Structure 1
Amino acid sequence: MYQRLIPSLRIHSWGDEPLLEATEQDRARIVQAAPVRRLQQKTQVFPLDVKASVRSRLTHSLEVQETGRQISRRILAQLPASTVCEGAFINLVEMSCLLHDVGNPPFGHFGEQVMSQWLAQTLDDLFASAHDQLPSPQWAELRQDLLVFDGNAQSLRLVHSLHELNLTLGQLAALCKYPQQPTPGQHFGQHHGWASKRGIFFSEQPLYQALSQQLGLAPGCRHPLVYIMEAADDISYCIADLEDAVDRRILTLSELQQALQSADGGDYMAVLLTRATASERGFFPHFRQQLTRDLVTLAADTYVGEHEAILSGAYPQALLHGQAPAARVLDVLKQVAREQVFMRPEVEALELEGYAALRGVLSTYACLLALPAAQFERLLAGKGGSELFFARRLFHRLSARHLKAYRLAVATADPRFVSAAEQEWYYRVRLLLDYVSGMTDTYALEEFRLLSGI
C-alpha cells in the first residue's frame, strides 16, 4: 500500500530510482535548499529577537523533524515490515517536518494576517488601475484565491514552482497539510476538520491534482504521512513556545507553573508538574521529555489503531484529538500560550514593528501591480521609460527566481483562465507575494527602512 502512496516518481524524471534512493536524494536537496536556511531568520514567537537561545523557525523545524522521526519509529515498530520501506517512510516524514514552515512569511502567522488584510484592502483598487475593462465572471474565484495568504499553500509553491527542487510526488504530497478544496458544485462525500483551510493555491492546483491522481488520493483527502507531520508540529511548538516565553522573561517560571496548575489539566497535569518541579535536571527538561514521550506514544498508537481509515483517506481527525490525558495537557498549553504569552505587550510591540514593515513594503511595491500589462511588459523587457523611473527601480529588486516563475506562468495560455489579461495579473500578484513572503524578518525590516528613507 505504501509503495503506491510514496513511489519514487517525480514530475520531471531522469530514470528509474529505487524508492529509498529517491527519498535520500530528496533529503539532500531539501537540507541544502535556501528556503530552509532562511528559516533561521524567521520568527517562531518573538519577531526580530536576536537572543540565540530563543527558537527561530529553523530550530523549531529541526525539533519537529526529530519528533516526527520518533513517531515514525514507533509506528514502524508496530507495522508489518513487509508493508513499507522503513527508510523511505522516515525520510519522507522527517523532510515534510523540516519543510512544513518554509512558506511562512516574515513574522509568522501574524505576517499571514497582515498580508491578507492588505490584500483585502487594496486588491480591487489595484485591479481596476491595471485594467481598462471590467473583470470576467471568473475573477471572483481568482480574487478569493489571492485574498487569503496561507503559508501552507505557499510551501508547496515554494519548493516546486519557485525553487524547482523536483521532489518525489510522495514528498510533495506529505507536505500538503490541508487537502485541495472543492470547486463550486463539487462534493467530496466526507467531512474533514481541515476543510476550511486554504491549502493549495489556484496556481498549484494542476500539480496537486496530478500527484493526487498518481498516488491514488481521493479528492480532499490527506496523504497518510501528513498526520504524522501535523502531530510532530503540535507537540513541538506547544511546549517550546512556553519555554521561550520564560527564557525571554515574558513569563516567570512560577507564573507559568501557577497558570498550568489553575487550568483543567486533570491528574496527569498535576503529576507532571510535581515531578518536573522536583526534578534535579530542571523544570523544562523533565516536563518536555515526559510530555513528548507520552504524546509521541499517543500519536503513534492512534495512527496504528486507525491505520486502514488513514490509508483510505476516511479518517477526519488529527492524531492527537480527543480526551487522552496527554492530549488534554497539550490543549492547556495552547490556551496558556494564547492568554499568557501572545497577548503580552512585549510580544505585541514586536508584532507592531513587523506590521509597519510588512505593510510598508507591500504598499510601496504595489505600484507594480497598478501598472497596465503593457507597461509591466516594458519593465520585463528592460525598456522602462521616464514615467516608470520609480517602478523600474523596484522591479530591479525582485528576485530573478520569482521573475522566472512569473514568466513561465504567463508564457502560454492556461485553459483554466478565461482571460489572458487576468492570467497575467493573477501571476503578477503572486510574483509580489512570492517576493515579500520569502523575506526573512530582518530583511523585511531592512527593506522597509530603505524604502522609507530611515
Structure 2
Amino acid sequence: MYSQLITAQRITPWPDDNLLEATEQDRARIVQAAPVRRLQQKTQVFPLDVKASVRSRLTHSLEVQETGRQISRRILAALPAGCACEGAFINLVEMACLLHDVGNPPFGHFGEQVMSQWLSEMIDPLYQQALGSTPSSQWAQLRQDLLLFDGNAQSLRLVHSLHGLNLTLGQLAALCKYPQQLQVGGRYGQHHGWGSKRGIFFSEQPLYRALGQRLGLAPGCRHPLVYIMEAADDISYCIADLEDAVDRRILTLSELITALRGADESDYMGALLDQGLGSDRGFFPHFRQQLTRDLVTLAADTYVREHQAILLGSYPHALLHNQAPAARVLEILKQVARQLVFMRPEVEALELEGYAALRGVLSTYSCLLAIPAPTFARLLAGEGNHELFFARRLYHRLSTRHLNAYQLAVAHPDPRFACQQEQEWYYRVRLLLDYVSGMTDTYVLEEFRLLSGI
C-alpha cells in the first residue's frame, strides 16, 4: 500500500529518480522556499520582539518537524520491515510538519477570522460593482468558498499553485489536513470526522482529485502521514504556548502549576509536575521531555494499532484522541492556555492591532476588485495611467508570482465555472487573498501604515 501512497511521481513529470532521492529533492525545495522563511516573521502567540527565546511560527514548525520525526521512527520500528521506504516516510512527515503553517495569514487563526469577516461584508457589493449582473446559479458555491479563508487550504495552494514547487504526490497529499471539498449548495462534504473544516479551495479541487486518483485515496480521505503531522503539531504547540507565557511573564510558574493541579488531580499529572519542579534542569525541560515522550509513544501506538483504517484514510479520529493520561494532560494544557494566556491584554492588544491592519489593507486594495474585468485587463497591459492612477499604484505592489498565477488561471475558460466572468473575478479575489495572506505580521503593519499615511 505504501508503494502507491509514497511515490516519486509528481504532477509535472520530472526525470526519473528513485523514491528516496525524490523526497530528498522535496526537502531541498521546501527548505529553500520563501514561504518557509516568512514564518520567522509570523507570530506564534506573542508579539514578535527582540527576545529570541519566544517562538515564532518558524521555530514552532521546526519543533513540530522534530516531533514528527520521533513519531515516525517509532512507527517504522513497529511496522513489518520493508513495508515502507523509511527514509522517504520520514522525509515526507518532516516536510509536512515544516510546511503545516505556511498558509496561515498574518496573526494566525485570528487573521483567518478577520479576513473571513471582511469578505462577508464586502463580497456582495464588490461583485455588483465589478460584474453588474445577476449572479449565476453557481455563485453561491463560489461565494462560500471565498468567504471561508483557511490556512490549511492555502498551504496546498501556496506550495503548488503559487510557488510551483512540483513536490511529489505523497508530499502534497501529506499537507492536506482536512481533505474536504465544497459541494454543490455551498456545503462541505461530511467525511470521517472533519466535515466542519475547509481543507481544499475550489481552485485546487482538480489538483486534489488528481492526487486522490493517482495515490488511490477515496474522496475526503486523508493521506496516512497527515495523522502524524497533526499529532506532532498538537504535542508541540500545547506545551510551547505555556512555556512562552511563563518566559514572557504573562503568568508565573507557580500560577501555572496551581492551574494544572486544579484542572487535573490524577497521579500522572501530579508526578509530571513534581518531577519537573524537582529537576536540576528546570521545570519546563523535564516536563516537556517526559510528556512529549509519552505522547509520541501514544501517537505511534495508535497509528500501528489502527494501521489498516489509517492506510485507507478513513480513521475518524486524531492519533491522540483517547483517554490515556498523557492525552488528557494535553487537553488540560489547551484549556489552561485559553483561560490564562490567550485572553491576556498583551495578546489581545496584538490582535486588535492586527485587526485594524488587515482590514485596512484589504479595504484599500478592494478597489482592484471593484473595477470591471476589461478595466483590470488594462492594468495588466500597463494602460490607464491617468484615470487609473490610484489603482495602478496598488497594482504595482502586487506580487509578480501571484499575478502570474491569476493570469494562468483565467487564460482559458474553465468548464467548472458556469460563467467566464465569475471565473475571472473568483481568481481576482484569490489574487488579493494570496497577496495579503502571504504577508508577515510585520509587513502587513508596515503596509497599513504606508497606506494610512502614518
Report if TM-score (shorter chain) is over 0.5: yes
Q: TM-score under structure 1 normalisation?
A: 0.98
For 1:278, the equivalent position in structure 2 comes to: 278
Show the 5 A alignment for 1:5-404: 5-181=5-181, 183-184=183-184, 191-264=191-264, 266-404=266-404
Deviation, structure 1 residue 184: 3.3
Alpha-carbon distance in 2 for matches of 1:216, 1:319: 22
Q: Which moved more, 1:48-57 or 1:188-197?
A: 188-197
Aligned residues of 2:183 and 2:189 also touching (Cα < 8 A): no
Aligned residues of 2:181 and 2:201 also touching (Cα < 8 A): no
Alpha-carbon distance in 2 for matches of 1:365, 1:240: 36
What RMSD in Å do the two structures reach over aligned CA positions? 1.5
Deviation, structure 1 residue 421: 0.5
Alpha-carbon distance in 1 for matches of 2:171, 2:24: 11
SS in 2 for 1:83: coil
The runs of 5 or more residues in structure 1 that have no matched partner are none
For 1:418, the equivalent position in structure 2 comes to: 418
Aligned residues of 1:303 and 1:310 also touching (Cα < 8 A): yes
Alpha-carbon distance in 2 for matches of 1:287, 1:14: 46
Aligned residues of 1:181 and 1:195 also touching (Cα < 8 A): no
CA 1:404/1:186 → structure 2, altered by over 3 Å: closer, same or farther?
Answer: closer
Alpha-carbon distance in 2 for matches of 1:144, 1:227: 27
Aligned residues of 1:265 and 1:332 also touching (Cα < 8 A): no
Alpha-carbon distance in 2 for matches of 1:7, 1:278: 48
Aligned residue identity for 2:100: H
Aligned residues of 1:180 and 1:205 also touching (Cα < 8 A): no
Alpha-carbon distance in 2 for matches of 1:426, 1:264: 49
For 1:449, the equivalent position in structure 2 comes to: 449
Deviation, structure 1 residue 189: 10
Aligned residues of 1:410 and 1:423 also touching (Cα < 8 A): yes
Post-superposition, which runs of at least 4 consecutive aligned residues in structure 1 deviate over 6 A?
185-190
Deviation, structure 1 residue 81: 1.7
Spell out, residue by residue over 1:177-236, the C-alpha distance to the aligned partner (whole angstroms, 9 max, x if none): 001336238999985221110000000000000011000001110000000000000000
Aligned residue identity for 2:433: L
CA 1:414/1:265 → structure 2, altered by over 3 Å: closer, same or farther?
Answer: farther
Deviation, structure 1 residue 387: 2.0
Aligned residues of 1:320 and 1:327 also touching (Cα < 8 A): yes
Alpha-carbon distance in 2 for matches of 1:121, 1:308: 45
The runs of 5 or more residues in structure 2 that have no matched partner are none
Spell out, residue by residue over 1:333-358, the C-alpha distance to the aligned partner (whole angstroms, 9 max, x if none): 00000010000111101111111111
SS in 2 for 1:135: coil
Aligned residues of 2:43 and 2:57 also touching (Cα < 8 A): yes
Alpha-carbon distance in 1 for matches of 2:412, 2:278: 66
Aligned residue identity for 1:275: Q
Aligned residue identity for 1:405: A
* Count of residue pairs brought into register by the alignment: 454
CA 1:405/1:136 → structure 2, altered by over 3 Å: closer, same or farther?
Answer: same
Q: TM-score under structure 2 normalisation?
A: 0.98
Aligned residue identity for 1:278: G
Alpha-carbon distance in 2 for matches of 1:265, 1:430: 49
Aligned residues of 1:71 and 1:299 also touching (Cα < 8 A): yes
SS in 2 for 1:384: coil
Aligned residue identity for 1:147: L
